[in-house]
Amino acid sequence: MNKQLTWFLVAIIWAMVAVINSVQHRSPYLVTYNVLAAILFAALGLLQPYCRKRGSEGKKMFNRIALIATGLLLLLVGLFLR
């Protein structure tokens, strides 16, 4: 499967989880976290083709951005789910 589509698939799944949590009247912090995670994964999906065009330098750049995004999600867990 195309890696770009994988990022979008993860974003769609995460957005569906946010909707389900919202319908079940879960914590607004949890819903917000899920929405932010979906936006982040969609942004990674949009950014990947741009980085792919830049060759190996772009791949390194994308890996750094993905690592920063993962760290950001972990920080958001600490903020929202205390």
The parent domain of residue 67 ranges over 3-80
Task: Measure the CA–CA gap between 64 and 71, rounded to whole angstroms.
Answer: 11
Q: What is the DSSP string of 12-66?
A: HHHHHHHHHHHHTT--HHHHHHHHHHHHHHHHHHHHHHHHHHTTHHHHHHHHHHH
Residue 27, pLDDT above cutoff 90: no
Cα separation, 12 vs 42, in Å, equals 8
Q: How many domains does the chain have?
A: 1
Confidence of residue 81 (pLDDT cuts 50, 70, 90): low
Band the pLDDT of 12: cuts 50, 70, 90: very high
Claim: this prediction has a pTM higher than 0.85: no
